[in-house]
Amino acid sequence: MPELPEVEVTRRGLAPQLAGRVIAGVAVREPRLRWPISTEVRSLAGRTVRAVHRRGKYLLVDCGDGHLILHLGMSGSLRVLPTDTPAGKHDHFDLLLGDRLLRLRDPRRFGAVLWTARDTREHPLLAHLGVEPLTRALDGARLHALTRGRRTPIKLLLMDGRLIVGVGNIYASESLFGAGVDPRMKAHRLSLEKARLLAASIKRTLRKAIRAGGSSLRDFVGADGNPGYFQQRYWVYDRAGLPCRRCGTPIRRIVQGQRSTFFCPRCQRQATSPSPSASSRRAGARTSTRRRAARRSRARASPR
């Protein structure tokens, strides 16, 4: 399923190809997507594309007096192609733009092509979306505030799009590893310090994925074939039983909310007693010095 990084890379690829172009018409070969393609979408001709924005996993094509809302669903991809490119079986929708077209291929038809003339922030699909993880709106304090009073496991909270958008299953596991947070920890137990680490880790994880996708831009802007998932090397995702890239402990797989979670039981150990005795505090100070040294040496062994 395309996740936020794939959608953002798609946006970056499409925006310069679409901006300023006049819509000559649309071609609808299969109107039965997640929702039927409306007559408003069919009568877009004459409008000029101003920009392409993103909110969560929705692409918003700004047409001046409204927005075309595109969603890739489970298996969709968007490409800019020469106008005379023959359509394949799953090429359900084209936006015609003079000498080129924007084509939606969506084999499983969970994608969406919608029109709204309203403020997109008020659209029923967009109004309840959570904070954008790559903006300044998500920082440690905001993430910490979102976890207050919530006893749900932290991993499931990260994946709740009403709180934070676009942190899918892969990126939730990766972000938690990056911050050393146990995915099973109850969200309300997240300290402010850990929330800061986790917010930074989420941004780092998503940016890394976007960078990985940047190199595949050519694959879906102009050329044939599907972009698929970005080729990435993961810290924990899909590595059950394999040694942790930091400490060598076998990575564990558990199921949370019907989805697989991967984590290192050593690097992501939950904090213990909140009020240690004086003696264990001293021992803790010694331990943390050793841990810092270990962390420095581990940092050199980061994945390529």
Tell me the catalytic residues.
2-3, 57, 259
**Does the footprint of Zn ion cover residue 52 (CB under 5 A)?**
no
Q: Least distance from C-beta 267 to Zn ion, angstroms?
A: 3
Interacting positions 241-300 with Zn ion (CB under 5 A): 244, 246-247, 249, 264, 266-267
Tell me the β-bridge partners of 62.
51, 67
Q: Contacts with Zn ion: how many residues (CB under 5 A)?
A: 7
Nearer to Zn ion, 74 or 293 (CB): 293
CA nearest to 138, candidates 209, 52, 201, 53: 201
User: What letter represents residue 4's amino acid?
Assistant: L
Nearer to Zn ion, 74 or 247 (CB): 247
Q: Which helix (H) or strand (E) holds 259?
A: strand 259-263
Nearer to Zn ion, 165 or 251 (CB): 251
CA nearest to 6, candidates 66, 69, 73, 68: 73
Q: Least distance from C-beta 235 to Zn ion, angstroms?
A: 9
Q: Least distance from C-beta 243 to Zn ion, angstroms?
A: 8
Q: How far apart are CA 51 and CA 120, in angstroms?
A: 14
Helix axes 192-214, 169-179, angle to 10 degrees: 130
Nearer to Zn ion, 247 or 271 (CB): 247
Helix axes 4-18, 192-214, angle to 10 degrees: 50
Nearer to Zn ion, 67 or 239 (CB): 239
Q: Least distance from C-beta 244 to Zn ion, angstroms?
A: 3
Q: Least distance from C-beta 237 to Zn ion, angstroms?
A: 14
Q: Which residue is nearest to Zn ion (CB)?
A: 244
**Residues 189-228 as x/- pattern, contact with Zn ion by CB under 5 A:** ----------------------------------------
Distance between alpha carbon 252 and the CA centroid of its chain, in Å?
Answer: 23
Residues that bind Zn ion (CB under 5 A): 244, 246-247, 249, 264, 266-267
